[in-house]
Structure 1
Amino acid sequence: MSEEKNESTKDTKNKDKSSDSKKPSRRRSVGIVLLGVLLAAILIPLGVFVVAYATYDVPEPEEVTSKQVSSIYASDAETELARIVPPEGNRRQVELEEVPEHVQNAVLAAEDREFWTNIGFSVTGFGRAVVGQLTGDGSAGGGSTITQQYVKNSLVGDDYSYVRKARELVYSVKMTNEWSKEDILAAYLNTVYLGRNAYGIEAASHAYFDKPVSELTVEEGALLAAIIQLPSQLDPWNDPVGAETRWNYVLDGMVEMGELSAEEREGMVFPETRDPAEYSAYTEATGTNGMIKNNVIAELGEVGITEEDMTTRGLQITTTIDTKTQEATLDSVEAELAGLQEDARAAVVSIEPGTGAVRSYFGGDDATGWDYANAGLQTGSTFKIFGLAAALQQGIPLSAMYDSSPVSLPGDIVVNNWDNSDSGYTTIAEALKRSYNTSFIRLQDDLYNTTQDTADMAHALGVARSLPGVPATLTENGGQPYEGIILGQYQSRAIDMSTALATVANGGVWHETHFVERVETSDGEVLYEHEVGEGERRVSELVAANLLSAMEPIAGYSSSALAEGRTSAAKTGTAQLGDTGQNKDAWMIGATPQLSTAVWVGTADNTSAIFNEWGGNMFGSNAPSAIWKSTLDGALEGQEVLEFDSPGQINFGSAPNQLYYDPVPAYTPPAYTTPAEAEPTEEEASEPEPVEEEPAPAPEVVVPEVPTPDEPEGGGIEIAPGLVIPDFLTG
């Protein structure tokens, strides 16, 4: 029994020894597993990081593009007319040197005080962020450095995921190794969002303080830096207390960094910001500048500058618009339209004859509305100059005598003059001054190709060959135009009429009408510069000089002689509203050697009558002439008084019977915008009022009791069923 007990005790001791011997082994196994897990936790991410680091390509600083504003300036390259703002943000790129050091330091104090020394991320900050993610403690703090914020905004996006955060980390480290710190800071300052639809420190400086970043004070720079954390919430107009608290944090940080003395800090006052209501980041243009912008954008496309260029390269676009001429134009229009009916509208285009540069442009005062300067309108008697130019080119001199009595056309249509006058035979020069319809119908009949020669001359001098909705101008369904072309039956635009007269004023040499002088990127690269060149001769110098000579008396005859005794060549015109005896279009076109200006006045819908300031019929010698004179007087004030060349003699058949032009379509500005309510549709703007097939005698014109100036205007006729010739209708 005793032996069994001893044996049992021995077995138990042996088991205990065996068990004790296994414990260290188990501990070692657990330790090895834990070590393996720990190594895997370190090595696997490290391996992934190494692979990603080798795989990811960080673009060069100049290769990263951000949406930014392009600016359109007047010819002085300083006066901003409009902006091209991408939907993705209002941003203006600036060099780091343009940002004051105190503004840079304020941003670092707010967002990344270890920026100059960290490796692209903050180890302590990153650790806090990880703890916060694992514990759900949002107060643990963030870990994004300036480099990480920039990478997120420009390269990896801001979706919430660990994969995105890992990519951000890899890019940040690699960017720190491949970019200079200065490049990273500059890129960040140009892309960071600061509220008020402002992206980048320059745009924000204008949004909050209405000044460039280079002029920001320490206090102002600290406020912009404070806003970065919560751009909309910390806008002082939304949360003044929160904004000031964060502002104090930034300034205190600058003191801790040694970038601001405690004494300076003590005396600083929270800065005032501009009212957000007075600033709109997406206001691209106001008034007629919106129409200038449309013309500029269309022209940029013609010279190969893309929409991407306009929205990513911060273009500085210098136009041809002369501030003095533009101001004179706007003042003239405002003064004259103020005394007219509520729906009165105007168009004015001034072009420099020697270059084709558009020096002033007014198409309406609604930036997104109907552009009357680029709309097809009936031109009335102003079109007589093209028939006369064709006649001069074919050797018919200004001294040629033409009958001014009524003239009969096929279909028993009788053409009279605007006042039913009949002066018998007069020179064609006198007929132009008095705007005799009858004389010009007869003159056109003497041209080799009659009405076609009038059309060809107009195209040669600069009238567009097509309009939006009108594939071919100055033609009757693709065929030869009707007799009424010389009286302004067909549509042309103010910009066409100014271009054509500029060609004549330049001695018959045409230059391309253009709005853009120079295009430069934000980093100084010149993308485009307009070259004037020698131009193209479109009509002989002899013909141009004679035509100008015939037009010289007309401004004075219309009580619109220019100041300082300046010589001008001009022509008035009106287009009648159907058979009502009232007018719907009134024109004055005229040029000096320095400037060609075309003026139109009518109504918003172009299908109702336009009246002068006395309530009577509007003629070209009324508001259009007043606008024309005031524009040129203001634009040319202080400039040398120049004369046109004296005309050489044209004897019958002695002028060259040839047009010097390349039949390439003349410059065509962009399609005008869809009109707003009560403004003309293309059909309404292009079709004359219908009349009976057998026209009745024109109604008697009632002369208003108030006096009106003498009017050297042309008449009008119906030369085919349903086609009314402007100015005056009679039967």
Structure 2
Amino acid sequence: MAKKTTPPKKAKTTRSKAKPQSPTRKKATVKKRASGKKKSILGRLFKWAFVTGLWAAIIMGGVLAYYASELPDIAESASFERQSSITILDVRGEVLARYGEIKGNSVDIADIPPHLIQAVMAIEDRRFYSHFGIDLLGLARAMIVNIQAGGVVQGGSTITQQLAKNLFLSHERTLKRKIQEAMLAIWLEHELSKDEIMSAYLNRVYLGSGSYGVDAAAMLYFDKPVKDITLRESAIIAGLLKAPSRYSPRRNPNLANERADVVLAAMVDAGYITDAQAKGLSNIPPLPPQKPGSANSVRYFTDWVVDGLDDLIGTPETDLVIETTLVSDIQDAAKNAIQNNLAQYGTDLEVGQGAAIVMAHDGAVIALVGGRDYNRSQFNRITQARRQPGSSFKPLVYLTALENGFTPASQIMDEKITTGRYRPENFGDKYYGMVNLETALTLSLNTVSYQLMKDLGPQSVIETARRLGIISPLEADLSLALGSSSISPLELATAYAAIANGGYGVFPYAITKIRDDDGRTYFKRPDQTLTRRVADERAIRQLQVMMQNVVENGTGQRARQAFPVGGKTGTSQDSRDAWFAGFSDKLVAVVWTGNDDNSPTKGVTGGSIPAGIWSEIMRDAQYKFQGRASFGLSQNYDLKGLIGRLLTPAQEQSEQSRHAPYHNNAGFGADDQRHESSQRYND
């Protein structure tokens, strides 16, 4: 085993003989050791801070490099050329709407009033001419204000940053977008002069109501070019930058006035104007009156026009002016009829939406109201919705029958269906025995339509529908006789136009001409001539007068006019959809009411609210539309000479007795409603 060693005694003796230190020296030694320890800690902290900072810088550099790599192509995006705009006119040349990024003229900085530039700087970026694209002082101030407020109440973006966002980036609020915005702002400051940045910003900024740029806003709100606006008007335009819709002088003149006062106070604070100047500008300037047809309902029409532009000329590369078929007076009449009737009956009957289209016999769309309120819902229920048409589809079944050997006088037994999987019922389970086709359509008897569909075959009716312009999928099922397949109101109007014009197919259209401001024409619709026959003329003439009888003696009496009209009501299962579609000798109109969620209404039928709306629209449209009639409707509804109606005196008396209960001049009373609402599946 190894011998255990002990420490040398000499070392021990040396330590034991060491002289004792004085208290003063001992304290100095302790301080020295503490100081060294402190320096060691500070050194380590400095070292770690340096390393951490270095890594943070490396990471930040990597993040910036990554964000920079995802920036758009600045060379291509930095062009300040005006984007194309679209101006849509009604049939008289009045402006309906404007689309596009810039509507006003691109204005040089020298032509922009100095007080407008000062107003914008006072409220948005006072140090614009001194910072490098990012206002560090402004950022610090905004941070303090936001901390004190406990939320974001003030932004720190400069005008250059806002221009960078508008030119290159989306409007999402993310850290990535803010970093990219700052990088692009610095780049813009390097590439452009301050005046160029200010000019680009003022020519592109959104200022509400579809206007981009200060010249467009000046024309829209004050009916004058920007070079002529006053100090007060400049304050109003500058006030729009925070919230264009909220502070619009059209929508909220009081709020616009209050915001303008804030801008003027900021201008006083910045030293641009005196307090006396600001106090002398208290009244908001009068706005130019709204042009006819400029109410929001027209946007359903103009949106549809713009959506179809690509099919005609492709993507526009210059400012365009589009001339259309819309008649603003009729558009307003349609809008008012829908809004007034829904306001009067909608709540009690639980119906929330309505839509209407008015079309000339050649397919020209004269008016289009796609919903109750465009501001609340831009969904176009005329062109985009697919709903069950109910009995308003029945004329296509009857037309197929008339083209295949039946006549209005042909007799069919109206009786309860007791066999087969599908067993439609008449209203109130009432049946009339042997009736002719005219009476069956007038009373909207479901069993007769069903028997015709069964005899003709669903496919033959589908072929008729296709010829007349219905393109939606149709189920080859016997229930199609009662309008079980969903279609759009635009399709139904197209089919009824073919019935109204004597059997010629039409394509719905709204654009008559596309041109630019210099007079170059990009598209011109040729004069419409009805040459494409899609239905037998004799059968169409018979159907026209049968549909007149629906209005005169049947379910559509509320649509009666002082001039001859024909039409058909339609109501789907549980009154989810209610329609009236009809025509005069010049026009076709289709009205739909219902709910967007397809919920049932309280017994709304085609002969009630829709027929009333249709009646109001057609009463105005017939006299305001300047187009010529494509045929003459019988004034006395005597069909004997035209369709060879062969009835015995007994049959005539029987038919008159069947019609008698439905001569309800009020049009919305118990007789009309009772007949229509209980047709189980349709009216």
SS of 1:238 mapped into structure 2: helix
Whether the 8 Å contact between 1:402 and 1:426 is mirrored in structure 2 is yes
For 1:226 and 1:358, locate their aligned partners in 2 and report how far apart those are by CA, in whole Å.
39
Matched, 1:570 2:533: no
For 1:154 and 1:484, locate their aligned partners in 2 and report how far apart those are by CA, in whole Å.
56
State the TM-score, normalized to the length of structure 2. Answer: 0.61
TM-aligned CA deviation for residue 429 of structure 1:
1.3
Residue pairs, 1:184-199, within 5 angstroms: 190=203, 199=212
For 1:403 and 1:226, locate their aligned partners in 2 and report how far apart those are by CA, in whole Å.
75
SS of 1:553 mapped into structure 2: helix
Cα 1:534–1:246 change in 2 (3 A) is farther
User: Which residue of the partner structure matches residue 434 of structure 1?
Assistant: 443
- The structure that is helix-richer by fraction is 2
Matched, 1:347 2:335: no
Whether the 8 Å contact between 1:313 and 1:522 is mirrored in structure 2 is no
Matched, 1:334 2:330: no
Residue pairs, 1:170-209, within 5 angstroms: 190=203, 199-206=212-219, 209=221
TM-aligned CA deviation for residue 347 of structure 1:
2.1
User: Which residue of the partner structure matches residue 623 of structure 1?
Assistant: 609
Whether the 8 Å contact between 2:581 and 2:589 is mirrored in structure 1 is yes
Which of 394, 398, 409 matches 1:384? 394
Deviations 1:578-633 (A, max 9, x none): xxxxx32222111012211111222342232x22xxxxx32221111111111100
User: Which residue of the partner structure matches residue 632 of structure 2?
Assistant: 644
User: Which residue of the partner structure matches residue 119 of structure 1?
Assistant: none
Which of 99, 104, 113 matches 1:84? 99
Whether the 8 Å contact between 2:400 and 2:461 is mirrored in structure 1 is yes
User: Which residue of the partner structure matches residue 40 of structure 1?
Assistant: none
Matched, 1:239 2:263: yes
Matched, 1:365 2:389: no
User: Which residue of the partner structure matches residue 57 of structure 2?
Assistant: none
Cα 1:520–1:198 change in 2 (3 A) is same
Whether the 8 Å contact between 1:219 and 1:269 is mirrored in structure 2 is no
Whether the 8 Å contact between 2:233 and 2:285 is mirrored in structure 1 is no
Residue pairs, 1:519-558, within 5 angstroms: 519-521=514-516, 525-535=520-530, 536-557=532-553, 558=556
Whether the 8 Å contact between 2:92 and 2:327 is mirrored in structure 1 is yes
Cα 1:436–1:223 change in 2 (3 A) is closer
User: Which residue of the partner structure matches residue 22 of structure 2?
Assistant: none
TM-aligned CA deviation for residue 109 of structure 1:
12
What amino acid is the match of 2:682? D
SS of 1:66 mapped into structure 2: coil
User: Which residue of the partner structure matches residue 323 of structure 1?
Assistant: 328
SS of 2:558 mapped into structure 1: coil
Whether the 8 Å contact between 1:377 and 1:493 is mirrored in structure 2 is yes
Matched, 1:291 2:286: no
Residue pairs, 1:419-458, within 5 angstroms: 419-447=428-456, 450-458=457-465
For 2:86 and 2:518, locate their aligned partners in 1 and report how far apart those are by CA, in whole Å.
12
User: Which residue of the partner structure matches residue 34 of structure 1?
Assistant: none
TM-aligned CA deviation for residue 360 of structure 1:
2.9
Whether the 8 Å contact between 2:576 and 2:594 is mirrored in structure 1 is yes
Which of 588, 591, 594 matches 1:602? 594
Cα 1:516–1:194 change in 2 (3 A) is closer
What amino acid is the match of 1:537? R
- Alignment RMSD (CA, Å): 5.2
Whether the 8 Å contact between 1:329 and 1:362 is mirrored in structure 2 is no
Which of 495, 498, 517 matches 2:490? 495
Cα 1:599–1:293 change in 2 (3 A) is same
Whether the 8 Å contact between 2:416 and 2:425 is mirrored in structure 1 is yes
Greater alpha carbon shift after TM alignment, 316-325 vs 637-646: 637-646
Cα 1:246–1:567 change in 2 (3 A) is farther
What amino acid is the match of 1:200? G
TM-aligned CA deviation for residue 474 of structure 1:
0.9
Matched, 1:74 2:85: no
Cα 1:354–1:219 change in 2 (3 A) is same
Whether the 8 Å contact between 1:551 and 1:570 is mirrored in structure 2 is yes
Residue pairs, 1:15-54, within 5 angstroms: none
Whether the 8 Å contact between 1:358 and 1:514 is mirrored in structure 2 is no
User: Which residue of the partner structure matches residue 223 of structure 2?
Assistant: 211
Cα 1:603–1:201 change in 2 (3 A) is closer
Deviations 1:139-190 (A, max 9, x none): xxxxxxxxxxx999999x9968998667547x99xx9xxxxxxxx9999985
Whether the 8 Å contact between 2:104 and 2:219 is mirrored in structure 1 is no
Cα 1:78–1:356 change in 2 (3 A) is closer
For 2:390 and 2:298, locate their aligned partners in 1 and report how far apart those are by CA, in whole Å.
28
Whether the 8 Å contact between 2:559 and 2:614 is mirrored in structure 1 is no
User: Which residue of the partner structure matches residue 310 of structure 2?
Assistant: 301
Q: Which runs of 5+ in 2 are unaligned?
A: 1-74, 121-128, 133-162, 169-180, 245-257, 289-293, 646-668
Cα 1:391–1:164 change in 2 (3 A) is closer
Which of 560, 576, 582 matches 1:584? 576
For 1:544 and 1:416, locate their aligned partners in 2 and report how far apart those are by CA, in whole Å.
28
SS of 2:593 mapped into structure 1: strand
Whether the 8 Å contact between 2:326 and 2:367 is mirrored in structure 1 is yes
User: Which residue of the partner structure matches residue 474 of structure 1?
Assistant: 474
For 2:313 and 2:82, locate their aligned partners in 1 and report how far apart those are by CA, in whole Å.
20
SS of 1:625 mapped into structure 2: helix
Cα 1:188–1:714 change in 2 (3 A) is closer
User: Which residue of the partner structure matches residue 44 of structure 1?
Assistant: none
User: Which residue of the partner structure matches residue 500 of structure 2?
Assistant: 505
What amino acid is the match of 1:709? D
For 1:73 and 1:398, locate their aligned partners in 2 and report how far apart those are by CA, in whole Å.
44
SS of 1:396 mapped into structure 2: coil
TM-aligned CA deviation for residue 244 of structure 1:
5.9
For 1:570 and 1:197, locate their aligned partners in 2 and report how far apart those are by CA, in whole Å.
39
For 1:438 and 1:338, locate their aligned partners in 2 and report how far apart those are by CA, in whole Å.
36
Whether the 8 Å contact between 2:300 and 2:368 is mirrored in structure 1 is no
TM-aligned CA deviation for residue 513 of structure 1:
0.8
Deviations 1:433-480 (A, max 9, x none): 111122222223332xx1111111112112123xxxxxxx112xxxxx
Equivalent pairs, count: 509
Whether the 8 Å contact between 2:589 and 2:614 is mirrored in structure 1 is yes
TM-aligned CA deviation for residue 333 of structure 1:
1.3
SS of 2:428 mapped into structure 1: coil
Whether the 8 Å contact between 2:358 and 2:587 is mirrored in structure 1 is yes
Whether the 8 Å contact between 1:436 and 1:715 is mirrored in structure 2 is no
Whether the 8 Å contact between 1:584 and 1:607 is mirrored in structure 2 is yes
TM-aligned CA deviation for residue 69 of structure 1:
5.2
SS of 2:539 mapped into structure 1: helix
Deviations 1:358-383 (A, max 9, x none): 42323332453543333111111111
User: Which residue of the partner structure matches residue 634 of structure 1?
Assistant: 620
For 2:424 and 2:509, locate their aligned partners in 1 and report how far apart those are by CA, in whole Å.
39
SS of 1:410 mapped into structure 2: coil
Cα 1:382–1:215 change in 2 (3 A) is farther
Q: Which runs of 5+ in 1 are unaligned?
A: 1-57, 112-125, 131-149, 176-183, 251-265, 279-284, 466-472, 476-480, 578-582, 612-616, 653-705, 718-725
Whether the 8 Å contact between 2:389 and 2:571 is mirrored in structure 1 is yes
Matched, 1:94 2:105: yes
Residue pairs, 1:122-161, within 5 angstroms: none
Whether the 8 Å contact between 2:442 and 2:547 is mirrored in structure 1 is yes
Whether the 8 Å contact between 2:99 and 2:210 is mirrored in structure 1 is no
User: Which residue of the partner structure matches residue 653 of structure 2?
Assistant: none
User: Which residue of the partner structure matches residue 254 of structure 1?
Assistant: none
Whether the 8 Å contact between 1:291 and 1:368 is mirrored in structure 2 is no
Matched, 1:65 2:81: yes
Higher relative contact order, chain-length normalized (CA < 8 Å, sep 6+): 1
Cα 1:274–1:520 change in 2 (3 A) is farther
Cα 1:429–1:712 change in 2 (3 A) is farther
For 1:707 and 1:151, locate their aligned partners in 2 and report how far apart those are by CA, in whole Å.
65
For 2:594 and 2:368, locate their aligned partners in 1 and report how far apart those are by CA, in whole Å.
19
